[in-house]
Structure formats: C-alpha cells, structure tokens
C-alpha cells in the first residue's frame, strides 16, 4: 500500500516565523499536489508539481518536488494566522488515476 508520510504532524508557531512541511514516500509519483483544508471545509488545491526538482512559489509559500519524485516540501515564510489549517500532500502514480493523500500536517499560527 502506498503511503505518504507528512512531518511534522502538528506545528504551532508564532506569527512571522518560517516553517517547512515535508511529504515523503518510497513510491515515485508522476505528479504531486498540495492542498490546504480549513475547519468545516473541503481541501483546496494550492499547487501541482510534476517535474523532479521543480520549485513553485505562491506568494510566501514555496513548494519543491524532490529530484527522484518521491518527496516534496512546503516552506512558508513569515507565517500569518491566515495560514492556519490542515496541509495535505497528494501523489499520483502514473497510470493509477488516483491521488493518494498524505497523513496531513496541522498548522496553527498564533498572532
């Protein structure tokens, strides 16, 4: 069974701090997505990465896909309370037509 492990599982930081969330697997993915989910809502896509080594930036968020396409990271610079939420990575193995979701990272940014 494919498994996407995210770390840390929980993270509570002060506003203005930087943080990195990791998503690791032993499987190779043809593409990997990052979602953010707020309480009472469904996940919302932040980014999709498809090329090994690819780096994408979304304002203060930087996403990187590992060279071997087995892992990914999400770095947030100068975190704000609005960044609070559950961050989920999801990987798709070529030909399976399904995204396997990671174990999730719950982030809380304190004002």
Partner 1 sequence: DTAVSQTPKYLVTQMGNDKSIKCEQNLGHDTMYWYKQDSKKFLKIMFSYNNKELIINETVPNRFSPKSPDKAHLNLHINSLELGDSAVYFCASSQDLVTEAFFGQGTRLTVV
Give the binding site for partner 1 (CB under 8 A). Answer: 31, 33, 37, 40-45, 48, 86, 88, 92, 97-101, 103-104, 106
Picking from 88, 52, 55, 57, the residue whose alpha carbon sits closest to that of residue 71 is 52
Shortest distance in whole angstroms from residue 24 CB to partner 1: 16
* Alpha carbon distance 1, 13 (integer Å): 33
Give the shortest CB-42-to-partner 1 separation in angstroms. 3
Nearer to partner 1, 97 or 111 (CB): 97
Q: Which is nearer to partner 1, 15 or 40 (CB)?
A: 40
End-to-end CA gap in the chain: 40
Give the integer Cα–Cα distance in Å for 53 and 42.
Answer: 29
Q: Rank residues 15 and 41 by Cβ distance to partner 1 and give the closer one.
A: 41
């Amino acid at each position: 069974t494919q498994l996407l492990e995210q770390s840390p599982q929980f993270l509570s930081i002060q506003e203005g701090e930087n943080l990195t969330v990791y998503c690791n697997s032993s499987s190779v993915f043809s593409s990997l997505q990052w979602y953010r989910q707020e309480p009472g809502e469904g996940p919302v896509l932040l980014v999709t990465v498809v090329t090994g080594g690819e780096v994408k930036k979304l304002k203060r968020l930087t996403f990187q896909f590992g060279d071997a396409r087995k892992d990914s990271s999400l770095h947030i610079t100068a975190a704000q309370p609005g960044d609070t939420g559950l961050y989920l990575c999801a990987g798709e193995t070529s030909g399976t037509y399904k995204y396997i979701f990671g174990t999730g990272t719950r982030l809380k940014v304190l004002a």
